[in-house]
Amino acid sequence: MNEEQLTAVLHEQGPALVVAGPGSGKTRVLTHRVAWLLSQDVRPDSIMLVTFTKKAAQEMISRVQQLSYRGAAVVAGTFHHIAYIFLRRYVSSLPDLYSKSFTIIDQGDQEKLFKLVIQSLIDQEDRRLIPKPKDFVRIVSYMHSTQMSLLDVVREEFPNYIRQMDRINSVVNGYKERKIQGNMMDFSDLLTYFLILLRDTSAGIEIKNQIDHVLVDEYQDVNALQEKIIRELSGTCKSLMVVGDDAQSIYSFRGGSAEFMLDFEDQYQSVTKYFLTKNYRSRPSILRLVNASIEYNEEQIEKQLESLRPEGDLPIVTVTSNSREQAAYVISKIQEYNESGIPFDEIAILYRARWNSLEFEKACVNSGIRYDIRGGIRFFERSHIKDVTALVTIFVNPREILQWNRILSMLSGVGEITASKIVQKIQSKSNPLTAFLTLGRNDFSSMSISSIAISSIISLQRLFTELAELDENHSGLTQINPMRFLSLCLEFLEPIHQMKFPDEDEFRERWNDVREFMSFSDRYDSLDNLLADILTMVNISTRTSKLDDKDRPIVLSTVHQAKGLEWQVVFVTWLNQGVFPHSMSLAEDNLEEERRLFYVACTRAKDFLHLTFSEYARSWQNSEGVSQFIEEIMDENVFQIFGNDIW
Ligand X SMILES: Nc1ncnc2c1ncn2[C@@H]1O[C@H](COP(=O)(O)OP(=O)(O)OP(=O)(O)O)[C@@H](O)[C@H]1O
Partner DNA sequence: CAACCTCTAATTTTT
Partner DNA sequence: TTAGAGGTTG
Q: In this complex, which beta carbon is closest to DNA, that of residue 108 or of residue 476?
A: 108
Binding span for ligand X by CB under 6 A among 17-25, 368-376, 486-494, 607-615 = 17-25
Choose among ligand X, DNA, none what residue 431 binds, the Cβ cut-off being 5 to 8 Å by kind.
none
Dihedral of CA atoms 244, 144, 181, 479 in degrees, nearest 10, equals: 0
- With 0-12 / 13-18 / 19 or more C-beta atoms within 10 angstroms meaning exposed / middle / buried, residue 252 is middle
Question: Minimum distance between the CB of residue 218 and ligand X, rounded to whole angstroms?
Answer: 7
Question: Minimum distance between the CB of residue 17 and ligand X, rounded to whole angstroms?
Answer: 14
Q: Rounded to an integer, what is the distance from CA 132 to the centroid of its chain?
A: 23
Q: In this complex, which beta carbon is closest to ligand X, that of residue 68 or of residue 614?
A: 68
Compute the distance between CA of residue 568 and CA of residue 607 in angstroms, rounded to an integer: 5
CA dist list (Å): 601 to 332, 569, 616, 637: 21, 12, 22, 20
Q: In this complex, which beta carbon is closest to DNA, that of residue 106 or of residue 361?
A: 106
Length of the chain (residues):
647
Choose among ligand X, DNA, none what residue 245 binds, the Cβ cut-off being 5 to 8 Å by kind.
ligand X
Backbone angles phi, psi at 613, to 5 degrees: -155, 140
Using CB under 6 A as the binding rule, the residues of this chain from 279 to 298 that contact ligand X are 280-281
Compute the distance between CA of residue 597 and CA of residue 563 in angstroms, rounded to an integer: 9
Q: In this complex, which beta carbon is closest to ligand X, that of residue 8 or of residue 392?
A: 8
Q: Rounded to an integer, what is the distance from CA 490 to the centroid of its chain?
A: 26
Encoded one letter per residue, x for contact with ligand X by CB under 6 A and - for no contact, window 186-225 reads: ----------------------------------------
Question: Minimum distance between the CB of residue 585 and DNA, rounded to whole angstroms?
Answer: 5
Choose among ligand X, DNA, none what residue 272 binds, the Cβ cut-off being 5 to 8 Å by kind.
none
- With 0-12 / 13-18 / 19 or more C-beta atoms within 10 angstroms meaning exposed / middle / buried, residue 572 is buried
Residues 6+ away with beta carbon under 8 Å from 529: none
- Enter the DSSP assignment of 358: H
- By CB under 6 A, is residue 23 in contact with ligand X? yes
Question: Minimum distance between the CB of residue 245 and ligand X, rounded to whole angstroms?
Answer: 5
Compute the distance between CA of residue 31 and CA of residue 62 in angstroms, rounded to an integer: 9
Question: Minimum distance between the CB of residue 28 and ligand X, rounded to whole angstroms?
Answer: 3
Q: In this complex, which beta carbon is closest to ligand X, that of residue 186 or of residue 245?
A: 245
Question: Minimum distance between the CB of residue 20 and ligand X, rounded to whole angstroms?
Answer: 6
- Enter the DSSP assignment of 503: S
Q: In this complex, which beta carbon is closest to DNA, that of residue 72 or of residue 584?
A: 584
- By CB under 6 A, is residue 398 in contact with ligand X? no
- By CB under 6 A, is residue 557 in contact with ligand X? no
**Which amino acid appears at position 294 of this protein?**
I
Encoded one letter per residue, x for contact with ligand X by CB under 6 A and - for no contact, window 220-259 reads: -------------------------x--x-----------
Binding site for DNA (CB under 7 A): 52-55, 78-81, 106-108, 141, 187-188, 250-251, 253-254, 352-355, 374-375, 383, 412-419, 448, 450, 452-453, 535-536, 539, 558, 560-561, 582, 584-585, 588, 619-620
Choose among ligand X, DNA, none what residue 281 binds, the Cβ cut-off being 5 to 8 Å by kind.
ligand X
DSSP per residue over 121-171, as a string? Answer: HS-GGGGGGS--HHHHHHHHHHHHHHT--HHHHHHHH-GGGGGGHHHHHHH
Question: What ranges in 522-577 are assigned the alpha helix state H?
Answer: 527-536, 559-562
Compute the distance between CA of residue 20 and CA of residue 575 in angstroms, rounded to an integer: 27
Using CB under 6 A as the binding rule, the residues of this chain from 592 to 621 that contact ligand X are 603
Site of interaction with ligand X (CB under 6 A) = 1-2, 5, 20, 22-28, 245, 248, 280-281, 564, 566, 603
